[in-house]
Chains A and B, each alone.
Chain A
Amino acid sequence: DGGITQSPKYLFRKEGQNVTLSCEQNLNHDAMYWYRQDPGQGLRLIYYSQIVNDFQKGDIAEGYSVSREKKESFPLTVTSAQKNPTAFYLCASLAVGFSNQPQHFGDGTRLSIL
Chain B
Amino acid sequence: QKEVEQNSGPLSVPEGAIASLNCTYSDRVSQSFFWYRQYSGKSPELIMSIYSNGDKEDGRFTAQLNKASQYVSLLIRDSQPSDSATYLCAVKRGDSNSGYALNFGKGTSLLVTP
Which A positions have Cβ atoms within 8 angstroms of B? Answer: 31, 33, 35, 40-45, 48-50, 56, 58-59, 90, 94, 96, 99-108
Contact = CB atoms under 8 A, between A and B. Distances in A.
User: What is the size category of the interface that chain B forms with chain A?
Assistant: 20 to 34
Nearest to A33: B101
Contacts of B101: 33, 45, 48, 58
Contacts of A100: 31-32, 51, 92
Contacts of A44: 104
Given A40-B8, A43-B44, A90-B44, A103 B102 contact: yes
A101 B99 CA distance: 13
Interface in B2-27: 4, 8
Contact of B46 (A35, A102, A108): A102
B99 A59 contact: no
Contacts of A43: 44, 88, 90, 102, 104
A42 B107 contact: yes
Given A40-B8, A105-B44, A31 B100 contact: yes
From A31, A44, A101, A102, name the one whose CB has the most chain B CB atoms within 10 angstroms: A102
B1 to A, nearest CB: 6
Interface in B84-104: 88, 90, 92, 99-102, 104
